């Protein structure tokens, strides 16, 4: 695969009370000659909020703007996103910007609970308001554990979502760890979703966890880049996140491709142990991928470019 890694773009300065660590799950939105990159960052209590930077679409290593505030605060006590708002994907819908996101709250018997929410901006993406206080894609009788990392496109009037769905929690070294796969849902309005319980990417083994899909429409179908990890030693260890690749003719049935050799951890730097949470975008005819490195985004995010 002709990807060329271009290096680190951004890591929080840790000087803001709401942004002490992490720039996780970068999500790209093309705005003319700029690419806006929304990301999730954590306060000193580990709670996540979303903010953004803007980079030059001709040279994404060049930061043009660093937004000084979160675009949406935590949810009310008891709601699905009271402890975290983690961006998933962004869409332009008329004069609005829609943000699908992962809301999370601290758990009881397991460490946390996550589900997919929707928020809408009417001021150009500087702030967002929840479309609903609750999630739009959540646990069901067929998906009893969790949903997360929604990636949404609108195609011929149909909204299509690929997202992470929990299969189980498994105990590893006396800690409950989640196992999840990528599934598909669709909608007529982007608000009410039909969770079809369609498995998109089969696991390569029973302890593999797959999430954070990023889908591009291609002439001959669809292309997905996603994150996968083992359930053992995955915190910057041998089982840490890597970037996978799959293709599909219909967006439902996917064929997993060989891992891209040029999207592997490199050297001893910011992505020496982990490559995670890819977000792909085509900007002015060029294809870019933004992704996290070590520590699930603690080391920041960088980018790669597809070179034919």
Could you list the beta-strand ranges (E) of the chain. 3-10, 21-31, 34-42, 48-56, 59-66, 84-93, 96-106, 112-121, 129-130, 147-155, 158-172, 175-187, 193-199, 209-218, 221-229, 242-248, 254-256, 276-283, 286-292, 301-306
The residue segments making up the domain with residue 76 are: 3-306
CATH number at residue 49: 2.115.10.20
CB neighbour burial string for 93-110, b if at least 16 within 10 angstroms, e if fewer:
eeeebbbbbbbbbeeeeb
- Phi, psi dihedral angles at 297 (to 5 degrees): 105, 0
The two three-digit tokens of residue 41, written as one number: 């960052």
**Is this model's pTM higher than 0.95 or not?**
yes
Closest CA to 11 of 1, 30, 26, 27: 26
Note down pLDDT in tens along the chain; length 308 residues.
589 999 999 999 889 999 999 999 999 999 999 999 999 999 999 999 999 999 999 999 999 999 999 999 999 999 999 999 999 999 999 999 999 999 999 999 999 999 999 999 999 999 999 999 999 999 999 999 999 999 999 999 999 999 999 999 999 999 999 999 999 999 999 999 999 999 999 999 999 999 999 999 988 899 999 999 999 999 999 999 999 999 999 999 999 999 988 999 988 899 999 999 999 999 999 999 999 999 999 999 999 999 98
Query: What is the tens place of the pLDDT at every residue in 12-61?
Result: 988 999 999 999 999 999 999 999 999 999 999 999 999 999 999 999 99
Query: What is the tens place of the pLDDT at every residue in 153-169?
Result: 999 999 999 999 999 99
Bridge partners of residue 120, in order along the sequence: 98, 129
- Structurally, how many domains does the chain consist of? 1
């Amino acid at each position: 695969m002709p990807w060329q890694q271009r290096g680190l773009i951004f890591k929080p300065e840790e000087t803001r009370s709401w942004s002490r660590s992490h720039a996780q799950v970068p999500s790209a939105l093309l705005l003319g000659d700029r690419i806006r990159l929304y990301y999730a960052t954590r306060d000193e209590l580990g709670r996540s909020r979303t903010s953004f930077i803007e980079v030059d679409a001709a040279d994404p290593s060049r930061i043009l703007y660093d937004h000084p505030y979160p675009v949406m605060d935590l949810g009310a006590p008891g709601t699905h996103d009271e402890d975290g708002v983690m961006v998933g994907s962004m869409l332009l819908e008329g004069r609005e910007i829609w943000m699908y996101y992962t809301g999370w709250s601290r758990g009881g018997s397991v460490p946390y609970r996550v589900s997919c929410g929707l928020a809408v901006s009417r001021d150009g993406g500087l702030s967002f308001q929840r479309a609903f206080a609750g999630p739009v894609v959540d646990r069901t009788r067929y998906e009893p554990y969790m949903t997360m990392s929604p990636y949404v496109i609108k195609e011929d009037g149909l909204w299509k979502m690929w997202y992470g769905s929990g299969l189980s929690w498994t105990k590893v070294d006396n800690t409950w760890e989640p196992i999840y796969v990528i599934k598909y849902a669709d909608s007529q309005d982007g608000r009410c979703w039909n969770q079809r319980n369609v498995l998109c990417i089969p696991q390569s083994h029973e302890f593999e966890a797959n999430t954070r899909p990023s889908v591009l429409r291609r002439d001959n179908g669809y292309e997905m880049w996603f994150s996968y990890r083992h359930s053992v030693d995955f915190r910057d260890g041998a089982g840490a996140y890597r970037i996978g690749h799959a293709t599909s003719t219909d967006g439902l049935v996917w064929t997993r491709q060989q891992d891209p050799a040029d999207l592997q951890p490199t050297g001893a730097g910011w992505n020496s142990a982990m490559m995670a949470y890819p977000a792909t975008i085509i900007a002015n005819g060029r294809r870019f991928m933004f992704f996290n490195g070590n520590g699930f985004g603690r080391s920041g995010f960088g980018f790669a470019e597809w070179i034919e």
